[in-house]
A and B are shown apart, each in its own frame.
Chain A
Amino acid sequence: MDPNVSWGPLISGGGFVFTSNWLGSGGGTGYGGAGANGGGAIVLNVGGTLELDGALNADGAGATNTFAGGGAGGGIFIEATTIIGAGSVHSDGGAGDFDLSGAGGGGGGGGRVVFECLTNGYSGVMSAYGGPGSEVGGAGAVLTQVAGQIGQLVVDNAGQAGPALSPLLALTNSSVRVANGAILAASLTSIAGDFTITTNAMVIGGTSSPWVLSVGGNLDIQPGGAVSLDGQGYGPAQGPGGGIISYALSGGAGHGGYGVNVSSFGYSRGLVYDSQFTPTNAGSGGNSFYPVPGGSVYAGGAGTIYTQFGSAGQLVIDNDGQTGTNTPIVSAPDAGLVVQNGAVGVFGSPSAFNSLVINSNGWLTEMPGTTLNLVVSSNAIINAGGGFMGDGLGNRNGNGSISA
């Protein structure tokens, strides 16, 4: 099937059109011959009750030739007034042929299963797992939609972890559960119900920047689950804070913090941009010319993390213990500020915060040629190993206590 098919409204009301896109595609050729067939298609429109205690199977075939790829799972579309029974429904990808070294054919991707009904009493198993192989096929999707209710889309790969993705462009009126090794490449912008990412599952954000996803129900990212946009920002040397080449040395990109200035002769660091409190822009790309001299490692500036629950906001600047470049800070009188772990916050103008905590190896300073003027309306705590640095201490007008 076309892996980029959007999910439209699925209580079809007779509007469903069966096409060959419901078939699973065939696996690639291996050293020993042709790949495996994809899974077929089962489309049932039942006016009454479907009692399902047997099996519906549209699995992709397993590869039989050396190093050939498995077939993709096919499609199963069931529409009935009522569905009952405890049978089994499978549209799994077929296995690729591979050896113990991990060489060989990949597994077929999982297929699609859709149950639509007015009443659902079905208690059997349903799966659209990717097939095993040198690399595991991406999980398919199982959608259960009861009329008048939020549907449930499950993308589950049976605990198999692999790089293959499960693309999802759009989905109407459903919750989404990504589980057990599945990696959902989500280009969709809204989920009507809950969005659950279980342990060992991942969601890779959409291709647009910023990727904005509206979740109508609860968002639950369980321990070990993840949403990742790693490496999906601007390309090399691109973006508002793209790294700059200066005297044949390549600077790191900036965003929340400055990039690294690796040249002692000129200016090569990437600039800071975007909102500290409502960031919407992607990260810029670093530049590449020659490796940095002497194998030295230079750290960029810490970015900023802003959280707000109700009216209480908190801005955290943390550089994971690395000594790097600076992080410009914008005044936020209603928010607390926490600086720690190698981060260096820098003020360019008089600023105010509700509270201030400087933890070990956290530092505040001012832009060259300016005076640090910081008003803290409640408590300011400066713990051992952290403090103020730079050209001068500036004017500190904290109204609360200061401890060190």
Chain B
Amino acid sequence: MKQIKTACVLMVAVFCLLSSNAWSLLITNDTAIGPLNLSCDGSDIIVSNCVLTIDGLHGFNSLLVESNGVLTHSFFPSGSSNFMFRVTNELQVLSLSNPAALDESNVVGTVIVTDLSGTNAYVFGADYGETNLPDGAAEIYMLPGSSISNGASVLVDYQWEEAVHAGLDLIISNNATIAMGSGINAGGLGYGPRAGPGFGTSSYGIYFEGAGGGGFGNG
């Protein structure tokens, strides 16, 4: 199964190659950049007198967190949260003899298949079908009597779901500065109560007494 990280790392690599064309982005109001929002990637990003919340993998050309600026990430009680991603114009070849495996797994909703011009949509259930396999992979296949020519190349649009881990995961191509009076704050943004691989348990006396969560050291 291909991961979101694969795509993002490739994208970050492209930004690295284009780093000489980086543009500055000054953020002075509280802002959130989600895992799907790659519009700021590749920039020289400056955080000043505000809180910038970033989720998912992102890449910037440089990073400056000025005094009173805070960089953080969201809190997901279970340690991750599912996000929907969209794929457009994925090239596939359909034939009567073999199904075509989609590039991404955990496909949600209907897969839309068009011809190479993108203007003529084929009919799901009449021209083609889709199967989600037990391992999460997805395939599309031609149906008997399909209007798709055997062996034709087609374009495929679909949505797929990926769990994004809580955490700040940044690739900075050049320099990063966390100035005095600023910071990156992930305090209390890990697993929620009684969650995580090392979650604390409770005694069952008259008064419940909760054990601390385990990190590298046991709680």
Contacts and interface: CB of A to CB of B under 8 A. Distances in A.
B217 A23 contact: no
Contacts of A111: 215-216
A167 B175 CA distance: 35
A391 interface: no
A28 B210 contact: yes
Interface in B198-219: 198-202, 207-219
Given A1-B196, A40-B168, A69-B200, A48 B213 contact: no
Interface in A1-52: 1-3, 5, 18-31, 34-52
Interface in A281-311: none
A57 interface: yes
Please report whether the interface of chain B is mostly helix, strand, loop or mixed according to DSSP.
Answer: loop
A358 interface: no
A123 B165 CA distance: 31
A37 B193 contact: yes
B188 A71 contact: yes
Contact of B189 (A39, A96, A137, A166): A39
A236 B77 CA distance: 44
Nearest to B180: A53
A153 to B, nearest CB: 10
Given A34-B194, A38-B196, A60-B190, A140 B169 contact: no
Interface of A: 1-3, 5, 18-31, 34-61, 63, 66-76, 80, 85, 87, 91, 93-94, 96, 103-112, 128, 130-131, 133-135, 137-141, 155, 157, 164-167, 182
A141 B216 contact: yes
B170 A44 contact: yes
- The 3 nearest A-B residue pairs measured at CB: A138-B217, A25-B196, A40-B186
Contacts of B105: none
B195 interface: yes
Given A28-B202, A41-B73, 7 more contacts: A24-B191, A28-B209, A44-B170, A58-B189, A71-B191, A72-B198, A94-B188
Nearest to B73: A40
A98 to B, nearest CB: 8
B173 interface: yes
Interface string B160-172: 0000011111111
Contacts of B5: 18
B215 A3 contact: yes
13 contacts: A1-B198, A20-B80, A23-B196, A26-B195, A29-B202, A44-B170, A45-B172, A47-B172, A54-B184, A93-B215, A94-B188, A107-B219, A130-B212
Contacts of A54: 65, 178-184
B125 interface: no
Contact of A44 (B172, B208, B216): B172
A2 B209 CA distance: 22
Given A21-B197, A109-B218, A28 B172 contact: no
Contact of A30 (B178, B202, B214): B202
A122 to B, nearest CB: 11
Given A25-B214, A35-B193, A57 B167 contact: no
A23 B213 CA distance: 11
